[in-house]
């Protein structure tokens, strides 16, 4: 199978990726026995009545819980067994069918135990090689028997050979397959034959009528649903296998369209439900916001202003805002959040600001206090580490309404935190929080007897490519800050092999001695034998021993919260020159004077993590550098990641590559987001289909709600309820 196809299939559905891996690994053993066990295999699970429990369980593992799911269980790839190729003339780099008579078949023990069989077809001799085999295979391949072998022909040292082909004994002049053979994602113990037959029956018995008006389908130049699924399950032999494998055939486009349409419909429905809920309409009075703006040493960028206007408009509506504020690291999202918060306070309500780590939450607390206390507000800190008495006082201030602004970690979600009048919840680095936590915060505003919900503003510095934002956040509104504040110089990125670590240490020391501040990021704090990562502790000690004149600090997740904040504050004040850190500093940390960053074992980190870390420098006017230390040898993915981060400074570009490499599920933690994984569409490639699906969703909901519901029922069944958040 072409590599690209395999990758895409894996993106589309984790279970199928696993199944494919399994199938590939066990292929020889499974498929060689397939034909001989066919007659004895269990009855097809048609209609799901009279089907063995074990088979049902296996089907359920594939996500098949109703007969129609079989119709939507589409092939991963196809085998072309419609032609017998002569050995001398077999195309390479693809699986082909060869027929020949066995001339020799022996078990060899060098270089390792294997069954080696030679077949001959008049045009040449082909070696079949099996590393794992049942003894029966040697009998099946006894000299003189006529066999068909299906696999890829490779040209080895001893001539053409096939490793682990699928083999089958045939009679003289036996007919070949009339159509391509679909290969389905499966699970251990469920054979291709069983699946094929079940699917065949489902195709004949299920109602495949189109859910969409035929005029609409025609206008989109897509085939009918029944044509599309039948074609994909039973493609005709003259089809271009490449188109089909690459999922670019119109039949595939129809399926992807339908899937994306179901997703869009579902999300648009939730979106309109939200508009029917109540929230406090917060008028933009611009009393406090003006005072804060005039106290700032800078003016907002045009992009910040635009985002703020969007938020302002949403907050003044009587239904809950759910807006995602996206902007690259350092684009200045925090001040926009503060200004949004003031709109709530101006209206006599409260605002909560939540961050995923204590370091970041504390930094927000300091910032917000610095901005808001001078204009007369009370800002309260809530985190897990608070002493009992402090916590009691904080909760009291929040519950009584004496405090207008509460800043903290997920501790803000806890039941004991009761707001007097929460109108806006701000969640920073929202992708770090689970759906349930965000939901809990939203529900906080709904006090007894009051139906109204708080508005929600979510912020993320992991910029999401447009396709993903549209698809995964179709029920959110998105604002984008697409420019950095003036005067920033881009961070220069250097890739340095770990062998030159000493040089780097020396360079960092020299830079620090001339007044610059630096981060040294280590991936783990404890020695792990398997990973052999250098610990932050070790680095810290080494640096201190080697350069006693350098003021070094150490920060990691295991420190107590007051220790952490003391270290961060000292770094902020410039008392620490070199901060040795674990990735706890990854999100949000803002120290403008820091201009040098070293990241150890950069090859182990993901793209967005690297980009986030790098974003900790380059916040002031000074030229900043980020040194990525890597350990050789580099695997292909690590190499690609480092190249991308080296070549791209723009977070949106980095995210686009990340999407391509990892797929949307991993990029967003999609399972956590409550949105079902896409099985067929690929958000990195199918933007045009997504656009069409979105337009169609709007049109259907407006003009043909019945069709919209029928479509949702077909595609999501009872999974529709999962899409609540």
| Distance in Å, CB of 114 to ligand ADP, minimum | 58
What does the binding site for ligand ADP look like in residue numbers (CB under 6 A)? Answer: 298, 300-301, 304, 327, 329-335, 461, 485, 588, 590, 592, 619
| Gap between the Cα atoms of 359 and 557, Å rounded | 9
Q: Which residues, at least 6 apart from 119, have a Cβ–Cβ distance to it below 8 Å?
A: 87, 98, 100, 101, 102, 103, 125, 126, 128, 147, 149
Other Cβ atoms within 10 Å of 163 Cβ, number = 15
| Gap between the Cα atoms of 163 and 15, Å rounded | 26
Residue 592, binding choice from Mg ion, ligand ADP, none, Cβ under 5 to 8 Å by partner class: ligand ADP
Residue 129, binding choice from Mg ion, ligand ADP, none, Cβ under 5 to 8 Å by partner class: none
Residue 235, binding choice from Mg ion, ligand ADP, none, Cβ under 5 to 8 Å by partner class: none
Contacts to Mg ion from residues 553-592, by CB under 5 A: 588
Which residue's CB is nearer to ligand ADP, number 96 or number 599? 599
Cβ atoms 711, 491 nearer than 8 A: no
Q: In what order do the strands lie in the sheet with 578-581?
A: 492-497, 625-630, 594-599, 517-521, 578-581, 552-555
DSSP 40: G
Q: Which residues pair with 457 in a beta bridge?
A: 323, 426
Which residue's CB is nearer to Mg ion, number 465 or number 588? 588
| Gap between the Cα atoms of 704 and 217, Å rounded | 14
Which residue's CB is nearer to ligand ADP, number 131 or number 296? 296
Which residue's CB is nearer to Mg ion, number 427 or number 441? 427
Q: Is the peptide bond before 51 cis (omega within 30 degrees of 0)?
A: no
Which residue's CB is nearer to ligand ADP, number 297 or number 636? 297
Residue 453, binding choice from ligand ADP, Mg ion, none, Cβ under 5 to 8 Å by partner class: none
Residue 485, binding choice from Mg ion, ligand ADP, none, Cβ under 5 to 8 Å by partner class: ligand ADP
Which residue's CB is nearer to ligand ADP, number 314 or number 586? 586
- What are phi and psi for residue 248, nearest 5 degrees? -110, -5
| Gap between the Cα atoms of 225 and 258, Å rounded | 9
Cβ atoms 410, 356 nearer than 8 A: yes
Residue 619, binding choice from ligand ADP, Mg ion, none, Cβ under 5 to 8 Å by partner class: ligand ADP
| Distance in Å, CB of 358 to Mg ion, minimum | 15
Name the residue among 353, 356, 350 with its Cα closest to residue 366: 353
| Distance in Å, CB of 572 to ligand ADP, minimum | 11
Number of chain positions touching Mg ion (CB under 5 A): 1
Which residue's CB is nearer to ligand ADP, number 363 or number 631? 363
Residue 118, binding choice from Mg ion, ligand ADP, none, Cβ under 5 to 8 Å by partner class: none
DSSP 373-412: GGGT--EEEE-TT--HHHHHHHHHHHHHT--SEEEESGGG
Residue 332, binding choice from ligand ADP, Mg ion, none, Cβ under 5 to 8 Å by partner class: ligand ADP
Residue 398, binding choice from ligand ADP, Mg ion, none, Cβ under 5 to 8 Å by partner class: none
| Distance in Å, CB of 317 to ligand ADP, minimum | 25
Which residue's CB is nearer to Mg ion, number 23 or number 613? 613
Which residue's CB is nearer to ligand ADP, number 590 or number 640? 590
| Gap between the Cα atoms of 265 and 712, Å rounded | 7
| Distance in Å, CB of 113 to ligand ADP, minimum | 59
| Distance in Å, CB of 586 to ligand ADP, minimum | 12
Cα 82 to Cα 5, 101, 228, 286, distances in angstroms: 21, 19, 21, 74
| Distance in Å, CB of 300 to ligand ADP, minimum | 5
| Distance in Å, CB of 426 to ligand ADP, minimum | 12
| Distance in Å, CB of 363 to ligand ADP, minimum | 8
**Helix locations, 651-704, DSSP H:** 651-662, 664-668, 670-673, 687-703
Residue 442, binding choice from ligand ADP, Mg ion, none, Cβ under 5 to 8 Å by partner class: none
Q: Which residues pair with 346 in a beta bridge?
A: none
Which residue's CB is nearer to Mg ion, number 62 or number 555? 555
DSSP 176: P
| Distance in Å, CB of 332 to ligand ADP, minimum | 3
Q: What are the residues binding Mg ion (CB under 5 A)?
A: 588
């Amino acid at each position: 199978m072409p590599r690209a196809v395999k990758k895409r299939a894996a993106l589309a559905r984790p279970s199928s990726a696993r199944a494919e891996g399994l199938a590939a690994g066990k292929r020889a053993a499974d498929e060689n026995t397939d034909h001989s066990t066919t007659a004895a295999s269990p009855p097809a699970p048609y209609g799901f009545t009279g089907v063995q429990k074990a088979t049902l369980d296996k089907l359920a593992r594939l996500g098949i819980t109703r007969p129609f799911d079989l119709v939507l269980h589409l092939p991963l790839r196809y085998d072309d067994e419609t032609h017998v190729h002569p050995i001398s003339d077999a195309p390479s780099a693809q699986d082909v069918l060869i027929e020949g008579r066995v001339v020799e078949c022996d078990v060899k023990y060098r270089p390792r135990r294997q069954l080696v069989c030679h077949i001959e077809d008049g045009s040449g001799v082909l070696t079949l090689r099996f590393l794992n085999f049942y003894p029966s295979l040697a009998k099946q391949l006894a000299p003189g028997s006529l066999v068909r072998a299906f696999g890829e022909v490779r040209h080895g040292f001893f001539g053409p050979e096939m490793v682990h082909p699928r083999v089958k004994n045939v009679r003289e002049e036996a007919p070949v397959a009339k159509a391509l053979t679909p290969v389905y994602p499966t699970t251990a113990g469920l054979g291709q034959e069983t699946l094929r037959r079940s699917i065949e029956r489902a195709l004949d018995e299920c109602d495949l009528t189109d859910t969409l008006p035929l005029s609409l389908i025609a206008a989109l130049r897509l085939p009918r649903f029944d044509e599309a699924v039948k074609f994909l399950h039973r493609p005709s032999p003259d089809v271009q296998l490449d188109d089909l494998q690459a999922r670019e055939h119109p039949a595939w486009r129809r399926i992807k369209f339908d899937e994306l349409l179901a997703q869009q419909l579902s999300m648009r429905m939730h979106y309109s439900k939200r508009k029917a809920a109540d929230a406090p309409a917060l008028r933009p009075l611009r009393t406090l916001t003006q005072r804060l703006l005039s106290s700032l040493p800078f003016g907002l960028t045009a992009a910040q202003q635009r985002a703020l206007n969007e938020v302002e408009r949403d907050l003044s509506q009587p239904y809950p805002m759910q807006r995602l504020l996206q902007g690259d690291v350092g684009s200045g999202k925090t001040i926009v959040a503060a200004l949004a918060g003031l709109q709530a306070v101006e209206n006599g309500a409260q605002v909560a600001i939540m961050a995923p780590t204590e370091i970041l939450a504390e930094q927000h607390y300091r910032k917000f206090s610095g901005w808001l206390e001078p204009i007369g507000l009370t800002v309260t800190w809530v985190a897990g580490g608070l002493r009992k008495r402090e916590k009691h006082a904080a909760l009291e201030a929040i519950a009584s309404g004496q405090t207008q602004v509460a800043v903290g970690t997920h501790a803000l979600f806890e039941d004991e935190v009761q707001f007097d009048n929460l109108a806006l919840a701000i969640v920073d680095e929202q992708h770090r929080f689970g759906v349930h936590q965000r939901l809990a915060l939203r529900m906080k505003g709904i006090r007894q007897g009051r139906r109204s919900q708080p508005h929600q503003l979510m912020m993320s510095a992991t910029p999401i490519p447009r396709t993903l934002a549209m698809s995964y956040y179709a029920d959110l509104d998105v604002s984008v800050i697409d420019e950095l504040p003036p005067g920033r110089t881009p961070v220069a990125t250097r890739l340095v092999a770990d062998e030159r670590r000493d040089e780097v240490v020396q360079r960092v020391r020299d830079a620090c001695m001339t007044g610059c501040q630096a981060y040294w990021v280590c991936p783990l704090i404890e020695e792990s034998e398997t990973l052999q990562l250098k610990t932050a502790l070790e680095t810290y000690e080494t640096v201190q021993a080697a350069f006693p004149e350098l003021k070094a600090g150490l920060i990691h997740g295991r420190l107590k919260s007051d220790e952490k904040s003391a270290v961060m504050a000292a770094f902020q004040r410039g008392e620490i020159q070199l901060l040795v850190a674990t990735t706890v500093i990854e999100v949000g940390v803002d120290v403008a004077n820091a201009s040098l960053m070293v990241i150890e074992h950069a090859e182990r980190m993901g793209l967005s993590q690297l980009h986030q870390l790098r974003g900790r420098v380059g916040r002031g006017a000074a030229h900043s550098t980020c040194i990525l230390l890597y350990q050789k040898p580099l695997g292909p993915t690590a190499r690609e990641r480092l190249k991308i981060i080296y070549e791209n400074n723009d977070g949106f570009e980095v995210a686009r590559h990340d999407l391509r490499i990892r797929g949307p599920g991993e990029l967003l933690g999609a399972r956590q987001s409550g949105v079902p994984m896409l099985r067929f569409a690929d958000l990195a490639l199918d933007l045009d289909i997504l656009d069409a699906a979105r337009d169609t969703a709007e049109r259907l909901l407006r003009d043909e709600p019945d069709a919209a519901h029928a479509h949702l029922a077909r595609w999501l069944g009872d999974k529709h309820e999962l899409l609540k958040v």
